[in-house]
């Protein structure tokens, strides 16, 4: 067993403990050609940032002088004052234990450069000159500034100190793994090959852009698109801040746009056209960025082919791991977005992926019939909806869908009636096979105590029923020249919640194998709301959604039915665990931290559209840890052999597939020790 007790244990409830870096895009009020007044605005924002635990903050382009001052850039008095104020700000950044990146015109030899000055620990860490100077439309920068390529050397003297001076500098915190950033300036990221691309390939995980981009109609969307796409392409976080109120409006206007993106997703956006200083803050997950790069072979290969050696500037970052709430969007349901428009789009895509997957398999096999077990539960309902839509699009009669409800020893009247009502409403061919006589014969044949009248409801009792249902379906498929449509979902595959082989584990094609349980609920609601398979089924679909999830294999005891979630845990939590462990490979302690942030308060944050109030629950850390422990055992130790032998089915969600031919490949005889040890060592009870 690994001895994690040998290592220092930082506070669990601090984002810094779990690989987050708190960044801020600063939007100061600008004072035209007044470095001292601008520095005062910077200092006020630095104090605000320090109070909120910010590690790294970035100001707009030429923020110390203002951008739209034209030939005033060439005035010696102004340039001298800029350098004096750089020393003041550097001292303040050191006192407040953060890194500040400000924009300033800097002389070097007989040339003037448009620069980002990086400050930390009370000193200037490095100076990054702008690479691409715009000289078209309203821009005239080459009148005043030299491009980075014009410099004669890679160091510069600033306030008596010699510091690195080059584009593409990579700044790395020696005491905070993954806290690595690089800087570019405005026009640089409009270039076909932004300097930050190579910086990312050299290891920078946070990319900063100091901008003085003026605003015209539609430009804010263009900037956001560039920031999102660049963070996705470079597998990074991208922090952008543009000049705002106070800049000269002689010929231009300014909106002060500030955005923070990570891996293509927007984490934060500031107020545009604001009249006061403000910060846009988010916690960037540099740990997740590193793990995504680790598993992305294309990124690594590109770094080998296109990457260039970079100058790495080391620095000491703040280490105070203060407990605080996470400042970033965090969906309770990673497979179900909170945004109603995005949820609608996701449901549209997921449903049509399932439908087209089934259509293609049917055309490839020239099948005109399929067999499906209809239990009245969520999964079989979703698979049946997919089948109906596929048959409609293939111009096949729904009567060729052969649905069978197969009541066993614990089948309730409610689920059985829902199954029949659904089949009738959808117009499929329905039939019923009572599996109890066959099950009783099997119990007798194998000498199970139940055959002798003993109330033994063990795993054999359950699996005899599950196996018989699937056995019947396969023989019915043979008899009717059809194939068996599977119904088991992604969440059940993660947990191994399926009867192996001749059981619900197996089918000829499974449309649900790539869909998480939490998403299936919303897919059924979405299909019902749009009446995609007809309005007649809508009341039954809502009745099915209101039914507790149960395998209905063990008779109810004292009126309490067998509960799936009572055994394996809430699917809301299990899907959360699955997403972050399988998609990114996060440590269990970090998954627990994120789950606690997402689920500890039902009144906080947003819920997906149409979530019923009774599903808006919360979980404390002890509950999360307990269910995560069970998940780790099931996922890593006991369930892989089932996933190693899966039927075909389409990948649907970005979280990945568990098919051995897809995203997840693992040994069937593994164990969960390392994950359990990490959980126990780093998550408090």
Q: What is the pLDDT of residues 72-129, one digit of tens each?
A: 999 999 999 999 999 999 999 999 999 999 999 999 999 999 999 999 999 999 999 9
Q: Which residues pair with 27 in a beta bridge?
A: 278
Pairing of strands 483-486, 370-373: parallel
According to DSSP, residue 210 is labeled E
Mean pLDDT of 279-306: 95
Q: Residue 67: pLDDT above 50?
A: yes
| Positive or negative torsion for Cα 314, 319, 325, 331 | positive
First-last CA distance in the chain: 20
* Bridge-based pairing state of the strands 170-173 and 237-242: unpaired
Q: Is 197:163 a contact under the CB 8 Å cutoff?
A: no
- For 176-221, the pLDDT digits (tens) are 999 999 999 999 999 999 999 999 999 999 999 999 999 999 999 9
Write b or e for each residue in 76-93: b if 16 or more Cβ atoms lie within 10 A of its Cβ, otherwise e: eebbebbbebbbebbebb
pLDDT digit string (tens) for 456-473? Answer: 999 999 999 999 999 999
297 token code pair:
């072979």
The neighbour count for residue 587, using CB atoms within 10 Å, is 20
Q: Residue 48 is encoded by which pair of tokens?
A: 């605000």
pLDDT exceeds 60 at position 8? no
Instruction: Work out the percent of the chain whose per-residue pLDDT is above 70.
Output: 99
Burial 36-60 (b: 16+ CB within 10 A, else e): ebbbbbbbebbebbbeebbbbbbbb
Hey, is 516 helix, strand or coil?
coil
- Better-predicted residue by pLDDT, 561 or 424: 424
| 310 pLDDT more than 50 | yes
Burial class (CB in 10 A: 0-12, 13-18, 19+), 149: exposed
For residue 319, what pLDDT is reported? 85
pLDDT at 483: 95
Among residues 624, 50, 597, the alpha carbon closest in space to that of 327 is found at 597
**Global pTM?**
0.94
Question: Per-residue pLDDT for 674 more than 90?
Answer: yes
Q: How many Cα neighbours within 13 Å face the side chain of 439?
A: 24
Contacts of 226 (CB under 8 A, 6+ apart): 189, 190
pLDDT bucket at 280, cuts 50 / 70 / 90: very high
Q: Are 405 and 380 in contact (CB under 8 A)?
A: no
Residue pLDDT, tens place only, 399-409: 999 999 999 99
Cβ pair 668, 640 in contact under 8 A: yes
What average pLDDT does range 227-255 have in this prediction?
Answer: 95
- Give, as one character, the DSSP assignment of residue 278: E
Residue 552 phi/psi, 5° resolution?
50, 55
Residue 613, number of CB atoms within 10 A of its CB:
8
Q: What is the mean pLDDT of the chain?
A: 94
Confidence label for 7 from pLDDT (cuts 50, 70 and 90): very low
Checking if the pLDDT of 152 tops 70, the result is yes
Closest C-alpha to 649, from 466, 506, 470 = 506
pLDDT of 549 reads 84
- 560 secondary structure, DSSP code: B
Residue the block writes with tokens 């066993």: 408
Tokens 């809430």 sit at which residue? 570
Spatial distance between the Cα atoms of 45 and 47, rounded to a whole number of angstroms = 5
Structure confidence at residue 3 (pLDDT): 47
HSE-CB of 288 using CA atoms within 13 angstroms: 22
Give 370-390 pLDDT, tens digit per residue.
999 999 999 999 999 999 999
Q: Which of these, 156, 515, 125, 522, lies nearest to 343 by C-alpha position?
A: 522
Tell me the catalytic residues: 61, 130, 186
Position 348 scores a pLDDT of: 97
Q: HSE-up of 291 (CA within 13 Å, CB side)?
A: 15
What integer is the mean pLDDT of 606-634?
94
pLDDT of residue 655: 82
pLDDT above 80 (res 4) = no
Give the least confident one: 7-16, 57-66, 512-521: 7-16
Average pLDDT of the residues in 148-158: 93
Strand partners, 259: 240, 269
Q: What is d(CA 196, CA 203) in angstroms, rounded to the nearest whole number? A: 10
State how far the Cα of 244 lies from the Cα of 65, in Å rounded to an integer. Answer: 13
For the chain, the C-alpha Rg in angstroms (whole number) is 30
What count of Cα atoms within 13 Å lies in the side-chain half-sphere of residue 454?
11
| Cβ atoms 630, 568 nearer than 8 A | yes
Q: What pLDDT is attached to residue 13? A: 95
Token duo for residue 34: 């007044």
| Confidence grade of residue 535 (pLDDT, cut at 50, 70, 90) | very high
CB contact set of 159 (below 8 Å; sequence gap of 6+)? 83, 84, 86, 87, 124
Cβ count within 10 A of residue 589: 23
Q: Which single residue is written with the structure tokens 């819920």?
A: 607
- Mean pLDDT, residues 15-44: 97
pLDDT, average across residues 641-647: 95
* Residue 600, SS3 per DSSP: coil
């Amino acid at each position: 067993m690994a001895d994690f007790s040998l290592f220092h244990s930082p506070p669990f409830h601090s984002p810094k403990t779990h690989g987050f870096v708190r960044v801020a895009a600063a939007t100061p009020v600008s004072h035209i050609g007044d470095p001292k007044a601008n520095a005062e605005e910077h200092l006020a924002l630095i104090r605000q940032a320090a109070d909120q635990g910010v590690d790294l903050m970035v100001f707009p382009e030429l923020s110390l002088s203002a951008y739209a001052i034209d030939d005033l850039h060439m005035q010696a008095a102004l340039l001298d004052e800029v350098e004096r104020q750089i020393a003041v700000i550097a001292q303040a950044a050191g006192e407040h234990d953060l890194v500040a990146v400000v924009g300033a015109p800097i002389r070097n030899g007989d040339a003037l450069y448009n620069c980002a000055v990086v400050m930390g620990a009370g000193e200037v860490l490095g100076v990054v000159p702008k690479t691409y100077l715009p000289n078209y439309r309203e821009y005239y920068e080459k009148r005043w500034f030299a491009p980075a390529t014009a410099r004669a050397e890679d160091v510069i003297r600033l306030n008596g100190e010699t510091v690195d001076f080059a584009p593409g500098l990579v700044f790395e915190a020696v005491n905070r793994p993954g806290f690595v950033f690089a800087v570019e300036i405005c026009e640089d990221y409009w270039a076909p090959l932004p300097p930050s691309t190579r910086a990312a390939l050299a290891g920078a995980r946070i990319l900063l852009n100091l901008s003085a981009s003026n605003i015209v109609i539609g430009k804010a969307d263009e900037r956001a698109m560039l920031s999102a796409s660049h963070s996705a392409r470079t597998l990074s976080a991208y922090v952008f801040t543009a000049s705002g109120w106070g800049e000269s409006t002689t010929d231009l206007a300014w909106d002060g746009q500030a955005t923070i993106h990570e891996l293509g997703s927007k984490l934060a956006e500031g107020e545009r056209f604001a009249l006061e200083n403000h910060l846009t803050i988010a916690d960037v997950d540099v740990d997740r960025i590193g793990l995504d790069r680790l598993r992305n072979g294309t990124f690594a290969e590109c770094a080998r082919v296109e990457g260039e050696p970079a100058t790495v500037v080391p620095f000491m970052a703040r280490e105070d791991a203060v407990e605080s709430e996470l400042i970033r969007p965090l969906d309770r349901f990673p497979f179900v977005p909170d945004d109603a428009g995005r949820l609608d789009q996701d449901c549209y895509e997921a449903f049509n992926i399932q439908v087209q997957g089934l259509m293609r398999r049917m055309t490839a096999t020239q099948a005109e019939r399929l067999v499906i077990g209809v239990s009245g539960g969520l999964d079989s309902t979703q698979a049946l909806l997919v089948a109906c839509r596929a048959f409609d699009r293939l111009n096949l009669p729904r009567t060729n869908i052969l649905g069978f409800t197969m009541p066993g020893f614990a089948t309730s009247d409610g689920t059985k009636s829902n199954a029949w009502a659904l089949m009738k409403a959808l117009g499929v061919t329905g039939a019923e096979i009572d599996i109890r006589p066959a099950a009783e014969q099997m119990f007798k044949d194998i000498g199970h105590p139940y055959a002798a009248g003993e109330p033994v409801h063990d795993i054999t009792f359950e699996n005899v029923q599950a196996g018989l249902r699937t056995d019947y379906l396969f023989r019915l498929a043979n008899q009717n020249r059809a194939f068996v449509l599977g119904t088991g979902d992604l969440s059940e595959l993660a947990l191994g919640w399926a009867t192996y082989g001749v059981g619900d584990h197996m089918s000829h094609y499974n449309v649900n194998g790539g869909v998480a349980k939490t998403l299936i609920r919303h897919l059924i609601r979405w299909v019902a709301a749009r009446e995609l398979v007809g309005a007649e089924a809508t009341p039954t679909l809502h009745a099915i959604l209101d039914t507790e999830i149960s395998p209905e294999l063990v008779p109810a005891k004292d009126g309490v039915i067998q509960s799936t979630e009572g055994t394996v845990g809430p699917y809301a939590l299990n899907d959360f665990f699955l997403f972050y462990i399988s998609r990114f490979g996060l440590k269990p302690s970090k998954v627990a931290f994120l789950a606690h942030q997402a689920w500890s308060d039902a009144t906080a944050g947003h819920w997906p559209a149409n979530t019923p109030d009774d599903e808006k629950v919360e979980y404390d850390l002890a509950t999360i840890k307990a269910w995560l422990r069970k998940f780790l055992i099931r996922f890593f130790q006991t369930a892989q052999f089932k996933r190693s032998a899966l039927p075909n089915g389409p990948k649907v969600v970005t979280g990945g597939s568990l098919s051995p031919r897809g995203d997840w490949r693992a040994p069937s005889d593994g164990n969960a020790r390392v994950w359990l040890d990490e959980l126990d060592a780093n998550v408090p009870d």
